[in-house]
Amino acid sequence: MLIPSYGVVGALGVLVSLFLAQRTARTVHVDPAKVWNLCILSLFAALAATRLLLVVVNWSVLRTHPAWVLGLAMVHHPLLTGTGALAGGGCAAWTAHRSKLPFAATADALAPPLALGLAFEQAGSLLEGSGYGVAAGPGVAWAVTYTSPLAKLWSGVPLGVPLHPVQAYAAMAFAAFAVLLYVWLPLERRRGDAAGLWLMGAGVAIYITEFWRDAEGRGAILRGAIDAPQIAAVAMVLAGALVLRERKGAPGEEDDAAQNAAGRESA
């Protein structure tokens, strides 16, 4: 029986990120139990959305080979990532509203775990071969060479060719950013700043590392000058800058403070 390395590392990343979210929730004085429920629901929403998209796109093939539906978990694509992010983010916002969680403080609590989860996800991608890098020159001593036919089958990664380990580049960037956000979170002055920093930092990391990724299937635009993930990265940076903009009196923080105080009293 084969156990996919991506699934193992991804599951470990989910667990570690969930437990980290409990600590960061306490740091910003948000109910950890409600944050746990929010994370679980958002995770299932993201998984369900991506699997549903794969089933719809590959319905004609799956009707003939229904057992292949079990292999859909091995398929990775930027479109799936975007779909999962939208579904998970939408579910998180809806759950936060229904649970009466302060939106800005909750977003701050989720910033470090999200960065850490992305680091684990990229580490799993490195082991599996998905999102692989461009060919590396002879001077790149840290290049990776894939030899498993299964990696070729599921990810399309070329075998026997030294490649830039771009997934490792991204994983290190996200891990460093997770540590930075975790250390900085107790020192923040305004609710929402940690979330804004996460958006900007993740956007910059995604944009830069895309230059080392193979362009196959990544939605090249303007004759390859930029691709779809980089467009999304630019949008993230702009959104982060909007969150971090100077705002007089930081509207909404009074409500957050009141809700946080109420939560501490009830606890």
Predicted TM-score (pTM) of the model is 0.82
Q: What is the DSSP string of 157-190?
A: PPBT--B--HHHHHHHHHHHHHHHHHHHGGG-SS
Q: Are 39 and 111 in contact (CB under 8 A)?
A: no
Q: How much is the mean pLDDT over the chain?
A: 83
**What HEC string does 103-155 produce?**
HHHHHHHHHHHHHHHHHHHHHHHHHHCCCCECECCCCCCCCECECCHHHHHHH
* C-alpha pair distances (Å), 200 with each of 150, 167, 264: 35, 19, 31
Query: How sure is the predictor about 200, in pLDDT bands with cuts at 50, 70 and 90?
Result: very high
Residues above pLDDT 90, as percent of the chain: 53
Count of Cβ atoms closer than 10 Å to residue 220 Cβ: 13
The DSSP 8-state label assigned to residue 243 in this structure reads: H
Tens of pLDDT along 146-160? 998 888 877 788 999
* C-alpha pair distances (Å), 39 with each of 35, 114, 168: 6, 10, 25
Phi, psi (degrees; rounded to nearest 5) at 148: -80, 130
Q: How many CA atoms lie within 13 A of 245 on its CB side?
A: 9
State the pLDDT at residue 183. 93
Q: Are 212 and 169 in contact (CB under 8 A)?
A: yes
